Amino acid sequence: MPELPEVETVVRDLRAHGLPGSVIRSVAVRWPRTIAELPPDAFCRALAGKTITDVSRRAKFIVVNLDSGDRLLIHLRMTGKLRFAAPGERPGPHDHVSLHLTDGRELIFNDTRKFGRFRLTQPGDDPFAALGPEPLEADFTPTLFKQRLKGKTRQIKPLLLDQTTVAGLGNIYVDEALWQARIHPERRADTLTAAEIRRLHAAIRTVLQRAIDNAGTTLGSGEANFYSVAGRRGRNADALKVFRRDGMPCPRCGTVIDRIVVAQRGTHFCPRCQKCP
């Protein structure tokens, strides 16, 4: 599933392709459930004729800002992908939404697993009210992070996956950040020392920024893998230290990396660097 670095990569690609400034001529919805809340015909009507003023990101949402003041939120979930149609290309079976632009281009949303969602929000809506802070913004300080964890008795891994704690993290980068900070994924959040919280704060920022610099993580070659707008693979897989590296040596101490299940998620860690609580 795309996490913050992969969504950020898609947003940067959409900007590089000149999506801001483009005008939507019409919209085609081929799988109605992709559109949250609105009936598809109302959704298409609301977008037709609107100019895209900017494309940005909040947590794992792609935010398409329109001149009407509405915002189109796109969540890729498991397998959602955006691409521009090649000349003469016809939509395939998993191409659920098309934005036809007045310059003749077609932005296609492809989603084999069909969990991805488009949602149109109106001015005044605050769809992000429940989300935690953006981990790469300057206001995400160690002090703020400590406040977010305060009094939390949950295990640190599921707490970090919870988007209300910190926005944008998923399974890959939580495992990587916990390894970097030398914290076991099953530690109860309220047992973390001030030094551990500072290390974890720094680790979250480091692993996310590195992954953005590498244009995201693409593992293997299956359809569920991450590909950015131009079908480009991310280069971050080689930078991963523990994620899906069970059975291989820890890059820090050489101990064999272990895999356990925490909160129903496959979890990778070094049993020596990340001591069991």
Angle at CA of residue 36, ends 35 and 37, nearest 5°: 120
Does the annotation mark 210 as catalytic? Answer: no
Considering the candidates 2, 5, 133, 135, report the single residue annotated as catalytic. Answer: 2
Q: Does 183 bind Zn ion (CB under 5 A)?
A: no
Does the annotation mark 8 as catalytic? Answer: no
Least CB distance to Zn ion at residue 263 (A): 22
Considering the candidates 146, 265, 271, 272, report the single residue annotated as catalytic. Answer: 265
Q: Does 258 bind Zn ion (CB under 5 A)?
A: no
Stretch that binds Zn ion, among 121-129, 168-176, 193-201, 264-272 (CB under 5 A): 264-272
User: Can you tell me the distance from the alpha carbon of 80 to that of 186, in angstroms, rounded to the nearest whole number?
Assistant: 30
Q: Is 243 helix (H, G, I), strand (E, B) or coil?
A: coil
Does the annotation mark 275 as catalytic? Answer: no
Considering the candidates 3, 8, 134, 176, report the single residue annotated as catalytic. Answer: 3
* DSSP 8-state code for residue 71: E
**HEC string for 112-125:** CCCCCEEEEECCCC
* Nearer Cβ to Zn ion (253/276): 253
* Nearer Cβ to Zn ion (61/243): 243
Least CB distance to Zn ion at residue 199 (A): 15
Could you tell me the two tokens for 46?
């609301």
* DSSP 8-state code for residue 226: -
Phi-psi region of 263 (alpha: psi -120 to 50; beta: other; left: phi over 0): left
Does the annotation mark 152 as catalytic? Answer: no
Considering the candidates 5, 40, 57, 60, report the single residue annotated as catalytic. Answer: 60
Q: Where are the beta strands (DSSP E) in the chain?
A: 24-29, 52-58, 61-66, 71-75, 81-84, 95-101, 106-110, 117-121, 258-262, 265-269
- Tokens 């670095």 correspond to what residue? 5
Lay out the site mask for Zn ion across 217-256 (x = CB under 5 A, - = otherwise): ---------------------------------x-xx-x-
Q: Does 273 bind Zn ion (CB under 5 A)?
A: yes
Provide the annotated active-site residues. 2-3, 60, 265
Where do contacts with Zn ion occur on this chain (CB under 5 A)? 250, 252-253, 255, 270, 272-273
